[in-house]
Structure 1
Amino acid sequence: MPSTMTNGRRFVLAAVCAVAVSTIYAIQPVLESAGSDLGLAGPALGRLVAAGQLGYFAGLVLLVPLGDVFDRRRLIVGHLVLTGTGAAITSLAPGAATAGAGLALAGLFAVVVQITVAYVAATSPAGERGRNIGTVTSGVVLGILGVRLLAGVLGDSLGWRAVYAVLAALCLALALLAHVTLHPDTRPARARYRDVLAGAGRLVATDRLLLGRGLIAFFLFASFGTLWSGLALPLGAAPWHFGTAAIGLFGLAGLIGAVAAARAGVWADAGRAQAVTGWSLALLAVSWALTARTAPSLWPLLTGVVLLDFAVQAVHVSNQHLLTAAHPERSSTVIGAYMAFYSLGSALGATTTTWAYAAEGWPASCLLGAAYALAALAVWAAARRLPDRRGPGPLHDVGKGPAR
């Protein structure tokens, strides 16, 4: 297959991932100001976060499989428009119920990220698939971390509504850009939607590669969520007492690690995805020893953040490379199923880190994050020793031979 993935298209698709995923996470840095404006306080603030996450989970189950039924370019354009609509509703919401509906709508169609990854996998030659996926999915981590900086700056200067107004405008601009720059996703035959949904359930139940990589993603993003949902707690407390904008700057450290991990796609193309997964998960566990140190200097914490985000992105790219290479004919379905594990893991990390911090402080949160990393490493080690139901032998890199 000749490559149609130019640098310009890679940039557009990475930007799609960054902006779309930002609509889910932008509420976190401005949660208190949004709640005050909308008449919410205390535990009720969690409804705003939950609205986007629940919408996203529903989209993973119901909308991502559409990529195996319809032209993915058209889906990317349409989903961006609807994500932007949800962000616009949120920015103009007169009350909490309307804001929640807008966040849920944005989250529902933010699964354009997974449609985009499937598009990249389907339109890339085998020898470039990992590199292209690595480049494009770097936009996901850029969005998750970068929006904290954007929201901190805009939230402090213009108010929380400005954050969603900007995201809405970016979604609509990218929809137009994607329509102009991307090639149609042509396929000779497409499955029926109900068959695709049924097939997703069967894949999770019978495919050891998907189940193994899904469980790794579950614990991987539980560890990731433990850091980024809980980091504001120690930084906002003594001795630092940082504000929203200053805390958002710590996302820059994570961006360094995430961008550096884009090379994981090249390693995956060379058949080293399994090895990359193993040592990256070990690095993830080790990074928590540095992240736990918040005094007297923040340099160990910053180093730990860089290492953690590098490890998470390297594993995430390797997972998606293996899955899309093993299931090229239904890449949207398999990515949707995989990302459901991601979504549940992120929610687990975000919930448990606050419990751990309330009980024993930041060291307890870091111990929890390390435990999730070690659980992912244990799943990886166990999966290597198990035969794949699709054929004899252990789970192996697709790059080294057929895995189907």
Structure 2
Amino acid sequence: MKNQLSNPVLYLMSISAGLVVANLYYNQPLLHQMAVDFEVSQATVSNVALATQMGYAFGLLFIVPLGDMMANKKILKYDFLLMIISLVAAAVSNSIFLLILSSFFIGFSSAIPQLFVPMAAQLASDENRGRAIGIVMSGLLVGILGSRVISGLVGEQFGWRFMYYAATALMVLLYILLQYKLPKLGPDYKGSYGSLLKSIGYYFKTEPSVRLAALRGGLGFAGLSAFWTTLVFLLEDSFGYGSDVAGAFGLFGVVGAIAAAVVGKMSDKVSKNKLIFYAVVLMIVSWGIFYFSATSIIGLIIGIIVVDLGFQALHITNQNIVFSKNPEARNRVNTIYMVGFFVGGGLGTVLGANAYEHFGWHGVAGLGIILTALIGLVHLIFRKQTV
């Protein structure tokens, strides 16, 4: 198995992870356009982003564990069919309710990248596991950031619906490529689907390091989601910028995405407790920068670079921790971690939108400081159980 992880295969998984996960984030720079189109409030339209993230959490819970019991290419066949139908449904939605519903299934079917991460961990040697995870995650993170840039530009020029049509065509092409190039992996688990899902509860109960990683990741992603959901509102209200500029801000987060590969290598050698501590410090600093940058574009740019560096250090370290245990169930422990991660993201979206509506940008920054401080508190109390 180990010799299947050639660099071309590893980078194919990395690029594919980025292209698929982009489906989750196309909507963020387009929320203002959607609100105007459907004549709804900012808080209401934020449910599009919330539904996408919650759908992703459900996909992690019900699709990703299948990686332990079903051939990967079989999963891809059914999942991509649902993904393509959901993207088309979003493009033709004639009400905010239908857009929210189709967004849920876009999120649900876009959980596939989380099969690539444990696959890389499985195929890599022990001493290169962090590197492999970091490279796949770099592609995934570039996809997250690039999606905002692309959708912002496309939305400004052609409208938000065109973005979903373009994403549909891209997913059709990607499916064909993966069917031809991705290694076929057979399952290890021999039980039923019901017992597979039940075993997730077993690992949740017996692995405190996985529970803590899920909590840290969820709190961190809650803050990041609050930021990206409300940034488009801030830029519109305070600077008069449209979706193209809001999306372009994602380019400054590429620094953090590139750093993911470096952090992956570091997490194979440096104390994971130290990496988590440094990550929390960077994130606290970034939210302080955001607090004083409600009228400063330069401040927002610096804050994005710093928050992404801190967040990616936290995320990659969390994943290396969970994948270093229970090699027979990497997809299931990844499910636990990523469900917590995206439930946090969904809550952060709601909290961020409401914080902005009631307290403005300072409320969003204050929320980020509180969420990051909670990560630090949890780490200090339970750091002996981290690894």
TM-score interval (norm. to shorter): over 0.9
2:52 pairs with 1:52: yes
Structure 2 counterpart of 1:72: 72
Structure 1 counterpart of 2:369: 370
Q: Give, in angstroms, the shift of residue 236 of structure 1.
A: 2.0
Q: 1:303-327 CA deviation, whole Å, 9 max, x = no partner?
A: 1210111111121111111111202
2:336 pairs with 1:337: yes
Q: Give, in angstroms, the shift of residue 98 of structure 1.
A: 4.3
Matches within 5 A, 1:22-61: 22-37=22-37, 39-42=38-41, 43-61=43-61
Structure 1 counterpart of 2:237: 237
Give distance in 1, aligned partners of 2:96 and 2:294: 38
Structure 1 counterpart of 2:273: 274
8 Å contact 2:284–2:369 — kept in the other structure? yes
8 Å contact 1:267–1:273 — kept in the other structure? no
Q: How many residue pairs end up in the alignment? A: 386
Amino acid at match of 1:266: K
Amino acid at match of 2:11: F
Give distance in 1, aligned partners of 2:281 and 2:33: 38
Amino acid at match of 2:164: Y
Amino acid at match of 1:136: V
Structure 2 counterpart of 1:287: 286
Q: Give, in angstroms, the shift of residue 220 of structure 1.
A: 0.9
8 Å contact 1:214–1:342 — kept in the other structure? yes
Structure 1: 5+ residue stretches without partners: 387-394, 397-404
Structure 2: 5+ residue stretches without partners: none
Other structure's SS at 1:320 match: helix
Structure 2 counterpart of 1:216: 216
Amino acid at match of 1:357: Y
Give distance in 1, aligned partners of 2:98 and 2:146: 26
Give distance in 1, aligned partners of 2:163 and 2:332: 32
Amino acid at match of 2:92: L
Structure 2 counterpart of 1:131: 131
Other structure's SS at 1:186 match: coil
Worse-matched range after superposition: 270-279 or 202-211: 270-279
Structure 1 counterpart of 2:175: 175
In structure 2, do the counterparts of structure 1 residues 291 and 135 end up closer, same or farther at CA, with 3 Å as the change threshold?
A: same
Taking only the aligned residue pairs, the percentage that are identical comes to 26
Worse-matched range after superposition: 270-279 or 291-300: 291-300
Q: Give, in angstroms, the shift of residue 19 of structure 1.
A: 2.2
Give distance in 2, aligned partners of 1:189 and 1:357: 46
8 Å contact 2:50–2:350 — kept in the other structure? no
Structure 2 counterpart of 1:380: 379
Q: Give, in angstroms, the shift of residue 80 of structure 1.
A: 3.1
Give distance in 2, aligned partners of 1:182 and 1:86: 24
Q: Give, in angstroms, the shift of residue 293 of structure 1.
A: 2.7
Give distance in 1, aligned partners of 2:250 and 2:315: 18
Structure 1 counterpart of 2:141: 141
Give distance in 1, aligned partners of 2:166 and 2:139: 17
Q: Give, in angstroms, the shift of residue 247 of structure 1.
A: 1.6
Q: Give, in angstroms, the shift of residue 237 of structure 1.
A: 2.4
Q: Give, in angstroms, the shift of residue 245 of structure 1.
A: 0.7
Amino acid at match of 1:322: I
Amino acid at match of 1:332: N
Q: 1:253-312 CA deviation, whole Å, 9 max, x = no partner?
A: 112222123211111222533321221122111111222232664323211210111111
8 Å contact 1:81–1:175 — kept in the other structure? no
8 Å contact 1:264–1:317 — kept in the other structure? yes
Structure 2 counterpart of 1:350: 349
Amino acid at match of 1:84: I
8 Å contact 1:75–1:115 — kept in the other structure? no
Worse-matched range after superposition: 134-143 or 365-374: 134-143
Amino acid at match of 2:275: V
- Give the alignment's Cα RMSD to 1 decimal: 2.2
Q: Give, in angstroms, the shift of residue 148 of structure 1.
A: 1.4
Q: Give, in angstroms, the shift of residue 36 of structure 1.
A: 4.6
Structure 1 counterpart of 2:153: 153
Matches within 5 A, 1:179-198: 179-187=179-187, 189-198=189-198
Give distance in 1, aligned partners of 2:279 and 2:92: 42
8 Å contact 1:48–1:99 — kept in the other structure? yes
Give distance in 2, aligned partners of 1:321 and 1:23: 25
Q: Give, in angstroms, the shift of residue 187 of structure 1.
A: 4.8
Larger relative contact order (CA 8 Å, sep ≥ 6): 2
Give distance in 1, aligned partners of 2:279 and 2:269: 17
Other structure's SS at 2:184 match: coil
Other structure's SS at 1:231 match: helix
8 Å contact 2:223–2:368 — kept in the other structure? yes
Q: 1:118-154 CA deviation, whole Å, 9 max, x = no partner?
A: 2212222212211111111123322222211111111
Give distance in 1, aligned partners of 2:55 and 2:280: 29
